[in-house]
Amino acid sequence: TLAAVAAIHARDLGWPLACVGGDSAGGTLAAVAAIHARDLGWPLALQLLITPSTTAHADTPSHLSFATGHLLEAEMIGWFFDHYIDKAHRTDWRFAPLLAEDLDGVAPACFSLAECDPLVDEGLAYADRLRLAGVPVELELFKGVTHDFIKLGRAVPEAHKAQAALAASLHAALF
């Protein structure tokens, strides 16, 4: 799994722990990897979750509010979902980590969310679920930006702020 690969590479670098992270669908995969790592007994220092998708259905209020005109649109999300997983399997927590039965003991999480993103509500909801499970959570909501802002460092100053915050959290978790 991704968590196992991360842990092996961490050991190669002399780090005592590993981290997982990603943005958008990569954030989803990182959240799932953190749950798997817990289940396998792999120690993770941190999960970096940048605008992750965590729900089974694109049905949160932010999905309606930002359905068009904000980079990641409802039609595109539908296309991604339809090409990624059959509707019958969408409630599997490995697709929608918000639906995981138990989040106790997963790695601490650092979230970077975009205010004008269809996925913002599910990111907030997942952070809340983690907090309820006793997982330490850092969360920054970047105002006025859309999904994928993290990749727009030349044009969006918030991208640099998010990258710096993520790097600081990663450094604090590993050193």
Catalytic residues: 24, 117, 147
Closest CA to 162 of 171, 172, 153, 154: 153
Using the structure block, give the residue that is written with the tokens 């710096």.
164
Region at 136 (left for phi over 0; alpha for psi -120 to 50; beta for the rest) = beta
The interaxial angle of helices 2-12 and 25-40, nearest 10 deg, is 80
Q: Are 147 and 70 in contact (CB under 8 A)?
A: yes
Please give the Cα distance from 56 to 40 (Å, whole number).
Answer: 24
Token pair belonging to 106:
């997963």
CB neighbour class for 133 (10 Å; exposed up to 12, middle 13-18, buried from 19): middle
